[in-house]
Structure 1
């Protein structure tokens, strides 16, 4: 593929124009301008804005700001180039959405200021309303016991096994990466050779680039010490009273403890970030929470306060009207959730009538049945490596499991064994590598160890033959070159021919997660039946940041990643879906749909709310 075709455009490119009107009372200000300019970069055409006797480039934010466009003012949008018609049509729709969103923000901000009593503001972590007694979160007591206590080395090894198990059990959830990151920290010098001085070492991390991971170090220390005979327990002063917890910060394991306490209705942190591992868990457990902008202390008195984590407000001494407002907002949230759940089986269409398929990421028959109950339109990703985590399955066991899942849905995308990097199975030996994320993983492993690969392909084929009227998509992971795909598909077809398996209902595609594929889409388009974009791995390879790295993280909605996704959507003619974590992020949904992605695959629990979100786009 020649990415630079736009350099050789016609000498007389087509010109398209349209007139747009600013409808927001805020005018065309910085936030929507930045989004609009970024969206305009998706197109090859030269796009400009004409207003007030000026013509400025639509991709340059400072230039657009100089126009100072206010409510009810109009401007002309012009595009010159081969995709001018597409650009004008798309950007006109995108601009209208920006204006509508800006109006919605105005309404939200107006509502959020309507509490009568004094409020303390904060940054929301997990949306929702909580009413309860403000209570400090303190360790109740520490217990030392020598019976069954392990040595430091044994405790480290057991902790590593625990984290591996937690990762496997929560693969579909946002918190899965937390356990992998913590497991990686166990290999650090601090835990391997300097554990006796760990408190001093952790203290020295304050104010450094590793400060954001102090909670993870403390959490690991707590996990290890629990196996060495030191146990810390927590207890609320009033276990039968609704409580809002206040704490400087929380460890991931402490959030887990809080999630098991029915009395805990909300959490306020005095410090931290919305991207910390504790914050991820608070969202996962749907505990209303925020990070306070001002100091909040518990008076120790027995009265109920309000935490409005949706708007980022804490009302210490609410009026009766404030209580009524909190109750009303809670009822609205509950009604929205109930409505989403009630409509989970309905077709999902945008306000423009575009149908979007919402599929499920699953790991086994249990999660498949859950996905069916949550309203999944099909399976967008069956992670086969998690079907059998303890022992190597037989051909019959694989066939039976696949058949059971295939009977539940009309369309299933099944990913062949994807191990290596951060994924391992106890019955498969992989040689130690200096950088396993760039080593033998995914399709590379399968093509090297063909005994396992052949058996799995045969099991999929046999299962497909047992069900009728099903579309079975076989997806190969970590494909970097057309040759890898061709080799894998040829192997599958040879197996099916040898066993007289009808391949009519079977399609072959790739998990698009290696950036090299972006530069060979023309070739891949001639070979594959479909693509599914794994945004988790694609992000780590685009930014050269290991996705389980304990201290480095990449922005999951980075414009760079979004530009890559837009590029794929524009330059391929085969079906493309999104099955990575990005598909489940509410802030990314509209952008993905606007790009043209009509198939999103997420964990089962997100399906009803994602469908509801799409219906409002």
Structure 2
């Protein structure tokens, strides 16, 4: 028996046979063409077919995978864009080579040019470029990269995996994923979480494991190859207990978010798209505590129009009814970029022109979103929240823009509600002036992902810092306590909506700090509800 230690991206236990997934490699032959016009038509027809495939893949996966399926739309939009098409056609015309070879060389040149860049948004774009290139090559005579898991459920082991590859796999045959490369914050890891599949990262994978028996322990990040009978028997018992625990959790779907002593601490959901609405309702969330609206701006060729935003927010408002939906204004910049935004390169984008700073620089974009939100407020219970606030001067500017938006809507006779507003507390600066900020809005929400990395001065996605990054650091917890006390001093509700909100090891501590609500990804609602219902705050002054 061999034992390998990695990082668990999503918990769970899987026992079964390994399928080692080899990435498709193309041996593309270059040859000279005599009819450029015909070759261009061949390429354009293949491009059309691939766009149809991507549209079809989105339609097949969107109901089950929701936001993650949008990667197919982003790839389709990328293929529809003129820059990639022009680059390939230029190679065909200038070098008079076959279109498949032109696609391959264009792809390789692009990957070579940008391979040293570490920004997640650029990495994702390059991954998408690689995948649509492979599809094009398949249509133009290469081997189409189909993923066949066989007849029985398997544990997929590979060097790396993309969300697209995951969605092309038969979900009923996929027991777990083990990769060498990747991040627990990557889209593939998030998708594994959505699919409820155990996932391990940072395992030094070996193609020789193909066909061998294995155990994946997503809780401890451990992989067992050819486990002995004693270990296998132990994990059979643990797997059954794990299954029974998940079934027991489902019984809490309709239970209230109340502690043992009767305190109501609402649990909300964090979502990135209205495709996640079914999960929000299924798990019985109190509402949506964080709608990440920036995803409406990504994976496309231009800004979304006001009416497009309005229709999306209107649908969410109508679907949620009386339940509150908090829409965070576009938190763009840093690792969330699109080519059309033309955001200048920055030495340190995490500390750069992002969030509310970018919105205040691009008031036309900001006003369009605000108008859409206020228009949609007439159809449900919406609230507005601003990201990355660090000064009262920013709030002065926002309030002036809001006044202008309302005047414009009044002049046109467009109905809207005077909705509640909130601030994301994500920087140490915001923590230190949180009482002053609380006076400007109706509620505060702690974004612990950014607050932790800014407090620790550590990039949470940097693999070199994985063992040093500690979001349970006393400084982080004290800052959370400071914000809760500052908000309550001004009679404002305070919520936690970052990753820490889903950490059940901290649930009781957060409740004793006096937090009013927690907002987590839909898959974590029930575990947090279970932890909350086991807490007794009687006699705790902070919980009162």
1:341 and 1:608 in contact (8 A); partners too: yes
Q: State the secondary structure of the residue aligned to 1:412.
A: strand
Displacement after TM superposition at 1:341 (Å): 2.8
- TM-fit CA distance, 1:193: 10
For 1:395-406, list aligned pairs within 5 A: 395-406=306-317
The 1:223/1:547 distance shift into structure 2, 3 A limit, reads: farther
Q: Which residue of structure 2 aligns with residue 592 of structure 1? A: 510
Could you say which residue in structure 2 is the equivalent of 1:449?
362
**Which of 479, 483, 500 is the aligned partner of 1:582?**
500
**Counterpart residue number, 1:568:** 483
Equivalent residue number for residue 363 of structure 1: 272
Taking a change above 3 Å as real, the CA distance of residues 504 and 551 of structure 1, as seen in their structure-2 partners, is same
Task: Report 1:122-271 matches (<5 A).
Answer: 125=8, 126-133=10-17, 137=20, 139=22, 142-146=25-29, 195=112, 226=134, 239-244=150-155, 250-253=159-162, 256=165, 260=169, 262-266=172-176
The reply on whether 1:606 has 2:511 as its aligned counterpart is no
- The answer to whether the aligner puts 1:539 opposite 2:452 as a matched pair is yes
TM-score normalised over the length of structure 1 = 0.58
After TM superposition, give the deviation of residue 234 of structure 1 in Å. Answer: 9.0
Aligned equivalent of 2:469, options 545, 555, 559:
555
Gaps of 5+ in 1: 1-117, 150-161, 180-190, 202-209
The residue correspondences of 1:381-400 to structure 2 (distance < 5 A) are: 381-389=290-298, 390=300, 391-400=302-311
* C-alpha contact (below 8 Å) 2:375/2:415 kept by paired residues: no
Kindly indicate whether the alpha-carbon contact (under 8 Å) linking 1:172 and 1:603 is maintained by their aligned counterparts in 2.
no
Q: CA deviation at 1:599?
A: 1.4
Secondary structure of residue in 1 paired with 2:529 = helix
CA RMSD of aligned residues (A): 5.1
Distance 2:129 2:372 in 1: 44
Higher helix proportion: 2
1:331-370 equivalences in 2 (<5 Å): 331-370=240-279
Find the partner of 2:397 among 483, 487, 508.
487
CA contact (8 A) 1:138 1:234 kept: no
Contact 1:143 1:231 in 2 (8 A): yes
Closer, same or farther in 2 for the Cα pair 1:556/1:226, shift >3 Å? Answer: farther
Match of 1:143, SS? Answer: coil
Would you say the 8 A contact 1:219–1:252 is kept in 2? no
Report how far residue 451 of structure 1 moved. 2.7
Answer with 575-584 or 441-450: which moved more. Answer: 441-450
The CA deviation at 1:273 is: 9.9
- CA contact 2:452–2:476 (8 Å) conserved in 1: yes
Instruction: Say if 2:366 is the partner of 1:420.
Output: no
Higher radius of gyration, 1 or 2: 1
> Are the equivalent residues in 1 in contact too, given 2:147–2:169 (CA < 8 A)?
no
Q: What is the DSSP-based 3-state SS (H/G/I as helix, E as strand, rest coil) of the residue aligned with 1:132? A: strand
Deviations 1:246-300 (A, max 9, x none): 67xx32449955982554534667x889969687776565444668999999798
Structure 1 residues 298, 592: closer, same or farther in 2, change over 3 A? Answer: farther
Query: 1:361 aligns to what SS in structure 2?
Result: strand
How has the CA–CA distance of structure 1 residues 464 and 305 changed in structure 2, closer, same or farther, with 3 Å as cutoff?
closer
TM superposition shift of 1:344: 1.8
Which residue number corresponds to residue 96 of structure 2? none
Q: 1:564 to 1:252 in 2, by over 3 A?
A: farther
Provide the C-alpha distance between the structure 2 equivalents of 1:259 and 1:597, rounded to a whole number of angstroms.
41
Give the Cα separation in 2 of the matches to 1:438 and 1:576: 25
**Paired positions, count:** 451
Give 1:481 deviation, angstroms: 0.7
Q: Return the structure number with greater relative CO, CA threshold 8 A, min gap 6.
A: 2
| CA separation of 1:272 and 1:362: change in aligned 2, threshold 3 A | closer
The answer as to 2:378 corresponding to 1:465 is yes
Q: Which whole-Å CA distance do the structure 1 matches of 2:146 and 2:324 have between them?
A: 47
SS of the equivalent of 1:458 reads helix
Match of 1:21 in 2: none
Counterpart-to-counterpart distance in 2, 1:195 and 1:444 = 32
Equivalent-residue separation in structure 2 for 1:171 and 1:422 (angstroms): 21
